[in-house]
A and B are shown apart, each in its own frame.
Chain A
Amino acid sequence: MSETHDATEAQLALEVRELSFTYSGRPALDDVSLAVRAGEFVVLLGPNGAGKTTLFSLITRLHDRRRGEIRIGGFDVRRQAVQAHARIGAVFQQPTLDLDLSVMQNLAYHGALHGMSRGEAKSRALAQLERVGLADQRRTRVRRLSGGQRRRVEIARGLMHEPRLLLLDEPTVGLDIASRRDLVAHAHRLCAEAGVAVLWATHLIDEVRRGDRVAVLHRGRLLADEQGEALTARLGVETLGEAFDRLVGDEEAACE
């Protein structure tokens, strides 16, 4: 019995169980449970202030004064922090590249932070840059790249240590429509090709693709967690937008 339990746990790239977090007296996350399997693409959909960034901060252990459990690939982020952290790749909401350094210097720094030798970091960085189509820009200063290119560099960086889980926190903020579409497509390819589990946080409903699983977060609570099509069918509405309004609307009504 326990063996099968362990086996399923290992397959889960991310497992969040009954997670609650209070921020200055106000619950920022309230009893959130969420699981993402290897190779799965999950859109974490919610308006600004829903608790998406808080959830990411807790997963990456920027802070962790919380109730509940978080496991990455079966490893508890608190008790087995080293193993858990090594399996997370993250693209944060705000840009985190060093503008004055070259693309390669940025990636080499990240490699070193994950304990890679200079040579290993370089070869891994090159492989990831090729994947995002920026290998020939590796000596360019980040300052001279476009917003979309910078995001792709950050994704390449997030994947250098071959994480099992890639977290992206509103990665398309500030990008034009074409770059946004490219980025969404690229993240999906990663799932399909490399088996990376992706948790993509956004407030933009049009970033949800057919077949994506959608987790709707509102005011710190998870209101829905199922495939987009199944969600619209269950609520008897045409579009995901309507489904979202319905869910959020019910929530507002319940609060009053």
Chain B
Amino acid sequence: MRVMPWLHCLRGVVGRELLRFLHQRSRFLAALVRPLVWLFVFAAGFRMALGVAMTEPYQTYILYEVYIVPGLVGMIQLFNGMQSSLSMVYDREMGSMRVLLVSPFPRWYLLVCKLLASTLVSVVQVYVFLAIAWAYGIQAPAMGYLYLLPALLVTGFMVGALGLLLSSFIRQLENFAGVMNFVIFPMFFLSSALYPLWRIREGSYLVYQIAALNPFTHAVEMIRFAMYERFNGEAVLISVAVAAVLLVLAILGYNPSRGMMARKGNAG
């Protein structure tokens, strides 16, 4: 089997996603403004009410703004993953999914290319956000920014695959608002993105239990530890496993004979 055509395919899919991203400045701006508003407005306001006592992986007492940054990184990826996976199928983009799927390469490979492409777009967004946070004074160790990269790839695949899976079988979630209410917000709020788990536990044991089970919590912790040059084995293991399972399910969902695509059909 020749390798080059496969690489050309990957280059094409990634290149297109990056080009589209560059052309859609409003999408980039929205993706950037969202976490910045959280950081500058929400976190700055909470700073008075909520300092964070010494928690792993931090070496000292930290400001709330410092605590919230990894969660916001996760949020950027969550939004981006959902957006690109869902827009691919719905809206006027149904066509572009067809263009992708008539390629002679196997479908699993096309979907992996697509997920990698949207993940890389989210990585660009994350580093721009972190650069602004750096300028604002929230600075992680230099190597942390490098260790962060693999964590971002795992999280990107996880949320992207989740979006693909949703898009393959849930017809009611055709608009983004629905996904926001029923997927993004619960995943984000019921996680350790905004408050440490021990803090949530003090508030409500039930919410704590949900947050501890939420895969997004583990993705955020993986990001948080990586940023501070630490390796959280449990978080990495769970995140990778969840990403792998979601990826397999998404690929099955797009299998033409067994998956949900077949059930959805297409009249006309």
Given A23-B265, A64-B262, are A108 and B98 neighbors across the interface (CB < 8 Å)? no
Query: A113 and B99: CB pair below 8 A?
Result: yes
Query: A81 and B257: CB pair below 8 A?
Result: no
Query: B11 and A115: CB pair below 8 A?
Result: no
Q: How far is the CA of A60 from the CA of B256 in the complex (A)?
A: 10
Query: A113 and B100: CB pair below 8 A?
Result: yes
Contact with A along B149-186 (1 / 0, CB 8 A): 00000000000000000000000000000000000000
Cβ contacts under 8 Å, A83 to chain B:
104
Cβ contacts under 8 Å, B4 to chain A:
115, 117
Query: B256 and A53: CB pair below 8 A?
Result: no
How far is the CB of A59 from the nearest CB of chain B, in Å? 10
Residue ID in chain A nearest B266 by CB atoms: A57
- In the complex, whether A249 has a CB less than 8 A from a CB of chain B is no
Q: Which of A62, A64, A78, A98 contacts B98 (CB 8 A)?
A: A62
- In the complex, whether B19 has a CB less than 8 A from a CB of chain A is yes
Given A62-B266, A92-B95, are A113 and B15 neighbors across the interface (CB < 8 Å)? no
Contact with B along A47-63 (1 / 0, CB 8 A): 01101111001001111
Query: A82 and B95: CB pair below 8 A?
Result: no
Cβ contacts under 8 Å, A51 to chain B:
268
Contact with A along B1-23 (1 / 0, CB 8 A): 00011101101110110011001
Cβ contacts under 8 Å, B263 to chain A:
65
Q: Which of B6, B11, B265 contacts A28 (CB 8 A)?
A: B265
Cβ contacts under 8 Å, B94 to chain A:
94
Q: Which of A23, A63, A85 contacts B103 (CB 8 A)?
A: A85
Q: How far is the CA of A233 from the CA of B38 in the complex (A)?
A: 74
Q: Which residues of chain B from 58 to 106 have any CB-CB distance to chain A below 8 Å in the complex?
A: 92, 94-96, 98-106
- In the complex, whether A93 has a CB less than 8 A from a CB of chain B is yes
Given A85-B102, A85-B104, A108-B12, are A101 and B265 neighbors across the interface (CB < 8 Å)? no
Cβ contacts under 8 Å, B105 to chain A:
82, 113, 115
Number of interface residues of A (CB under 8 A): 46
Query: B5 and A54: CB pair below 8 A?
Result: no
Q: Which of A64, A90, A100 contacts B24 (CB 8 A)?
A: A100
Number of A-B contacts (CB under 8 A): 124
Q: Which residues of chain B from 244 to 268 have any CB-CB distance to chain A below 8 Å in the complex?
A: 256-258, 261-268
Q: Which residues of chain A from 69 to 119 have any CB-CB distance to chain B below 8 Å in the complex?
A: 78, 81-86, 88, 90, 92-98, 100-101, 105, 108-118
Cβ contacts under 8 Å, A109 to chain B:
12-13, 15-16, 99
Query: B101 and A62: CB pair below 8 A?
Result: yes
Cβ contacts under 8 Å, B98 to chain A:
60, 62, 90, 92, 96
- In the complex, whether A24 has a CB less than 8 A from a CB of chain B is yes
Contact with A along B32-44 (1 / 0, CB 8 A): 0000000000000
Q: Which of B8, B264, B266 contacts A116 (CB 8 A)?
A: B8
Q: How far is the CA of A110 from the CA of B164 in the complex (A)?
A: 21
Q: How far is the CA of A81 from the CA of B102 in the complex (A)?
A: 10
Query: A114 and B16: CB pair below 8 A?
Result: no
Q: How far is the CA of A23 from the CA of B19 in the complex (A)?
A: 37
Query: B8 and A115: CB pair below 8 A?
Result: yes
Cβ contacts under 8 Å, A98 to chain B:
16, 20, 96
Cβ contacts under 8 Å, B19 to chain A:
101, 105
Given A52-B268, A62-B266, are A112 and B8 neighbors across the interface (CB < 8 Å)? yes
Cβ contacts under 8 Å, B9 to chain A:
112-115
Interface centre among B12, B19, B96, B258 (most CB of A within 10 A): B12
Residue ID in chain B nearest A105 by CB atoms: B19
Cβ contacts under 8 Å, A84 to chain B:
104
Cβ contacts under 8 Å, A117 to chain B:
4, 8
Query: A112 and B256: CB pair below 8 A?
Result: no
Given A101-B23, A108-B12, A113-B105, are A96 and B265 neighbors across the interface (CB < 8 Å)? no
Given A24-B265, A116-B8, are A110 and B99 neighbors across the interface (CB < 8 Å)? yes
Query: A113 and B257: CB pair below 8 A?
Result: no
Q: Could you write out 9 A-B pairs with CB less than 8 Å apart?
A: A23-B267, A28-B267, A60-B98, A61-B101, A63-B256, A82-B104, A100-B24, A115-B9, A116-B8
- Other A-B contacts than A98-B16, A105-B16, A112-B8, 6 sampled, CB-CB below 8 A, are A61-B101, A63-B264, A63-B265, A82-B106, A96-B95, A117-B8
Q: Write the residues of chain B forming the contact surface with A, with a CB cutoff of 8 angstroms.
A: 4-6, 8-9, 11-13, 15-16, 19-20, 23-24, 92, 94-96, 98-106, 110, 256-258, 261-268
Q: Write the residues of chain A forming the contact surface with B, with a CB cutoff of 8 angstroms.
A: 23-24, 28, 48-49, 51-54, 57, 60-65, 78, 81-86, 88, 90, 92-98, 100-101, 105, 108-118
What 10 pairs between A and B have smallest CB-CB spacing? A112-B12, A115-B5, A96-B95, A53-B268, A85-B104, A113-B103, A65-B262, A23-B265, A100-B23, A63-B262
